[in-house]
């Protein structure tokens, strides 16, 4: 029960107590003659009506007034996670009786922030400290502005594998503070979807709602998907192995552009090694708990029993992958590049999917909607640019376009060697022959003495780029943020000019899913 309802209930009890106390002062008869049955009935009806009004007042949601614009939740999202949290948070606050609404960062300015009593900023950091593409203009818009009287809090989403962990969330925090806004509660940083950090955020939302129990969960639950098959797509390549992962379940729903969020597990051998180092024994359930968590240093848990250790474990971070297929194909496909840590051990997500999980076993996964990378209408031409495993998200779009019979698609793809790294080659060439792909341009950097990348191919086709954009085409880029994406962006900027480049971004006609 919220504080408001508790206060209203106490007030009614106080009034009832006052009425009883006043009644004891009455020494003379209440009436000279007993009222008739009609008057008694009317009095009872009035009392019941009054009680009903009181109940409605207690249950009625709080309504915002002109002087209270409610809570504003602003999101900056590259793959849809921050947007999802903002929208679910706004829905939960509304159900608790507060006025709340969510919108992207670029839709807000200092005047809008000043019009709200409280502002919650939920933002992800991409690459090495960068903001989501759509939010690039928000911080510059706060310069030389005052936000005195505004209260705010920041939920910063990031991945501690990167040096600039949660950098953009920290920048938002500093900018709001510098503009004179007051802190509602300390910044919460979420490392790769850490459930404990998200639970702390939900607790703060509950406090804002007067300690109400929020009805809307922050995240959907993971579901069990069967690991149907996997195989390496680039044997013999000079690059790291790229594996196609096929997953199935009875009910499959997603759109091209959506993201698969995986809950990885420690390799069984790693769990056995840890148990041997601690000298502890574990049953099947305890081993499953250890497999899903970050294992502490054995020296730090000396003297503790296994139940105590498990109670303190931190879940493993989630891993995100672009979905490479559509539901009509009967499977959820991923394209996963094996990565290695400084000790030469396989990466957490790539190792689990490509090596350690047994074919036929369950993979815990949830599909996250990513509207920022959903396709336009079938009549809109698409320019799809990707490198490496970035072809995964683009392949899903092409499969969806083929199902719709949408034929104006231009694919530019770059990798190392044509003989080994032309992922999905047979399907792409089939779609080209069928007219689904109008143009298929490739760049394989190791096939010539002069390194040639996808941005070079795009620059060579500058005239076609201008023509397609003039005809209403959208540009979708998927792949490496560190190398490919900035180089492609530079070509687009040089070819189209900054005004048109910025206009395409503002209109949602230039979108990126980069990592």
Task: Look over the chain and give the mean of its residue pLDDT values, rounded to a whole number.
Answer: 88
Beta strands in 348-490 (DSSP E): 362-368, 382-387, 409-415, 439-444, 474-479
State whether 238 and 199 are in the same domain: no
Question: Is 318 part of any domain?
Answer: yes
State whether 244 and 350 are in the same domain: yes
Name the residue with tokens 């939010």. 135
pLDDT of residue 1: 46
pLDDT of residue 198: 87
Question: Is 26 part of any domain?
Answer: no
Question: Is 23 part of any domain?
Answer: no
State whether 415 and 495 are in the same domain: yes
Higher model confidence: residue 143 or residue 9? 143
Least confident of 68-77, 335-344, 504-513: 68-77
CATH number at residue 88: 3.40.50.360
Name the residue with tokens 């706004």. 90
Residue 67 has pLDDT above 90, yes or no: no
DSSP string, 13-38: HHHHHHHHHHHHT--S-S-SSPPPHH
pLDDT of residue 43: 60
Query: Per-residue pLDDT tens for 43-58?
Result: 666 567 666 655 554 4
State whether 497 and 464 are in the same domain: yes
State whether 191 and 327 are in the same domain: no
d(CA 386, CA 393): 9
Q: How confident is the model at residue 69 (pLDDT cuts 50, 70, 90)?
A: low
479: left (phi over 0), alpha (psi -120 to 50) or beta: left
State whether 126 and 198 are in the same domain: yes
* Residues in Cβ contact with 91 at an 8 Å cutoff, skipping those fewer than 6 apart: 216
Radius of gyration for the chain, computed over Cα atoms and rounded to the nearest angstrom: 29
State whether 230 and 268 are in the same domain: yes
Percent of the chain whose pLDDT exceeds 90: 66
Question: Is 4 part of any domain?
Answer: no
CATH number at residue 310: 2.40.30.10
Q: Would you state the structure tokens that stand for residue 237, as one six-digit string?
A: 């390549």
What integer is the mean pLDDT of 64-74? 66
Query: Which of 208, 237, 264 lies at the terminal end of a domain, its last residue?
Result: 208
Give the pairing type, strands 242-248 and 223-232: antiparallel
What integer is the mean pLDDT of 397-418? 97
Question: Is 114 part of any domain?
Answer: yes
State whether 151 and 278 are in the same domain: no
Query: Which of 341, 368, 395 lies at the terminal end of a domain, its last residue?
Result: 368
d(CA 79, CA 65): 35
State whether 381 and 434 are in the same domain: yes
* Residues in Cβ contact with 5 at an 8 Å cutoff, skipping those fewer than 6 apart: 58, 210
Can you name the residues that pair with 243 across neighbouring β-strands?
232, 336
Residue 424 has pLDDT above 70, yes or no: yes
* Residues in Cβ contact with 31 at an 8 Å cutoff, skipping those fewer than 6 apart: none
Query: Which of 148, 181, 208 lies at the terminal end of a domain, its last residue?
Result: 208
Query: Domain containing 420: what range?
Result: 375-514
Q: State the angle between helix axes of 3-24 and 37-59 in degrees (0 to 180), rounded to the nearest 10.
A: 150
State whether 87 and 157 are in the same domain: yes
State whether 336 and 399 are in the same domain: no
Least confident of 40-54, 93-107, 192-206, 219-233: 40-54
pTM: 0.76
Question: Is 9 part of any domain?
Answer: no
Residue 60 has pLDDT above 50, yes or no: no
* Residues in Cβ contact with 479 at an 8 Å cutoff, skipping those fewer than 6 apart: 385, 386, 387, 388, 389, 390, 391, 485, 514, 515
State whether 156 and 96 are in the same domain: yes
With CA atoms as reference, report the closest residue to 469 among 440, 449, 497. 497
Question: Is 50 part of any domain?
Answer: no
Question: In total, how many domains does the chain have?
Answer: 3
With CA atoms as reference, report the closest residue to 515 among 402, 365, 380, 349. 349
How many C-beta neighbours within 10 Å does residue 113 have?
23
Helices (H), 146-251: 167-178, 195-208
126 DSSP assignment:
B
Query: Per-residue pLDDT tens for 123-178?
Result: 999 877 788 888 888 999 999 999 999 999 999 998 887 788 999 999 999 999 99
d(CA 428, CA 193): 34
């Amino acid at each position: 029960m919220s504080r408001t309802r508790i206060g209203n209930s106490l007030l009614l009890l106080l009034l009832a107590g006052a009425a009883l106390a006043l009644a004891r002062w009455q020494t003379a008869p209440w009436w000279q003659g007993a009222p008739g049955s009609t008057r008694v009935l009317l009095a009872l009806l009035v009392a019941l009506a009054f009680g009903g009004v009181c109940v409605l007042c207690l249950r009625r949601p709080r309504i915002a007034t002109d002087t209270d614009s409610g809570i504003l939740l602003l999101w900056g999202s590259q793959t849809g996670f921050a947007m999802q949290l903002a929208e679910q948070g706004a829905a939960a606050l509304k159900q608790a009786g507060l006025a709340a609404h969510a919108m992207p960062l670029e839709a807000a300015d200092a005047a809008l922030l000043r019009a709200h009593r409280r502002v919650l900023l939920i933002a992800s950091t991409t690459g090495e400290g960068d903001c989501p593409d759509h939010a690039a203009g928000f911080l510059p818009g706060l310069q030389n502005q005052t936000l005195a009287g505004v209260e705010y809090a920041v939920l910063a989403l990031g991945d501690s594998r990167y040096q600039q962990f949660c950098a953009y969330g920290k920048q938002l925090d500093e900018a709001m503070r510098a503009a004179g806004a007051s802190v509602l509660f300390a910044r919460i940083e979420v490392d790769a979807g850490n459930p404990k950090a998200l639970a702390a955020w939900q607790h703060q939302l509950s406090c804002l709602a007067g300690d109400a129990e929020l009805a809307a969960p922050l995240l959907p639950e993971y579901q069990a998907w069967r690991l149907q098959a996997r195989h390496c797509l680039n044997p013999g390549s000079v690059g790291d192995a790229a594996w196609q992962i096929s997953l199935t379940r009875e009910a499959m729903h997603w759109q091209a552009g959506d993201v698969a969020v995986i809950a990885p597990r420690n390799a069984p051998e790693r769990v056995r090694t840890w148990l041997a180092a601690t000298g502890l024994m574990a049953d099947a359930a305890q081993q499953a708990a250890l497999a899903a968590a970050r294992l502490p240093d054995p020296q730090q848990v000396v003297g503790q029993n296994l139940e105590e250790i498990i109670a303190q474990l931190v879940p493993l971070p989630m891993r995100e992958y672009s979905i490479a297929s559509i539901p009509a194909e009967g499977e959820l496909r991923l394209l996963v590049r094996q990565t290695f840590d400084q000790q030469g051990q396989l990466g957490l997500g790539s190792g689990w999917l490509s090596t350690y999980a047994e074919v036929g076993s369950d993979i815990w996964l949830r599909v996250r909607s990513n509207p920022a990378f959903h396709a336009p209408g079938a009549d809109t031409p698409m320019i799809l640019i990707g490198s490496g495993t970035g072809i995964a998200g683009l392949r899903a779009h092409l499969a969806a376009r083929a199902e719709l019979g949408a034929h104006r698609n231009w694919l530019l793809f770059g990798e190392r060697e044509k003989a080994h790294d032309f992922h999905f080659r047979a399907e792409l060439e089939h779609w080209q022959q069928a007219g689904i792909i109008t143009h298929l341009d490739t760049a394989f950097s190791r096939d010539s003495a002069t390194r040639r990348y996808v941005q070079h191919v795009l620059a060579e086709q500058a005239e076609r780029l201008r023509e397609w954009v003039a005809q209403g085409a959208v540009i979708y880029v998927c792949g490496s943020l560190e190398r490919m994406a900035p180089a492609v962006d530079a070509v687009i900027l040089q070819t189209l000019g900054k005004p048109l480049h910025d206009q395409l971004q503002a209109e949602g006609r230039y979108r990126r899913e980069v990592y």
